[in-house]
Amino acid sequence: MKFSDQVIEWIESDSDRMEALELASSLGLNDWCLAAGFVRNLIWDKLHSKEVLTPLNDFDLIYFDSDVIDENTDLEYELRLKSLSSFPWSVKNQARMHIRNNDRPYVSTSDSMSYWVEVETAVGATFVKNKGVTLVTPFGLEANFNNTITLNSGEFGVR
């Protein structure tokens, strides 16, 4: 089984993650995913045969919308999601995050993830009704299955 198929199967069998993906999808964002520990922790928990999954500190919803970069929009999305569930939401528009990170402007959610320091953390999942779960993996998934932490070797990975 391909790594991506395995990860999608694990996500689809996790009711909390599927609920979170469906809620995030309901915002109608075009270029988004639930990223970082949302996917990475699940992979590692499954690879280590954990019976109880590692609790998530937050559900990182990242998206890219260069037309609306006001941080208040992120807060509105967070409030909307928090009114629908008790998940610890964190919403960030990647169209402005390059400023905070002192990078060149990002062109997409996946592009922004390619600047993250850890390769294994740069993984996300998105959901479209009637199409299902899709992964966002600028570095692929192999590193997640190697039981390692890999620093991004790109010139932008380590600030």
pLDDT in tens, 72-128: 999 999 999 999 999 999 999 999 999 998 999 999 999 999 999 999 999 999 999
- Domains annotated for the chain, with CATH where assigned, are 3-145 (3.30.460)
Look-up: residue for tokens 């990975």? 157
Cβ neighbour number for residue 110 with a 10 Å cutoff? 19
| 143/83 Cα distance (integer angstroms) | 36
132 pLDDT more than 70: yes
**CA distance linking residue 4 with residue 142, whole number of Å:** 9
For position 155, what pLDDT does the model report?
57
Gyration radius of the chain's alpha carbons:
15
Question: In angstroms, rounded to a whole number, what is the distance separating the alpha carbons of residues 62 and 35?
Answer: 7
Position 153 pLDDT exceeds 90: no
Angle at 27 between CA 56 and CA 4, to 5 degrees: 55
- Token couple for 104: 């060149």
Percent of the chain with pLDDT over 70: 97
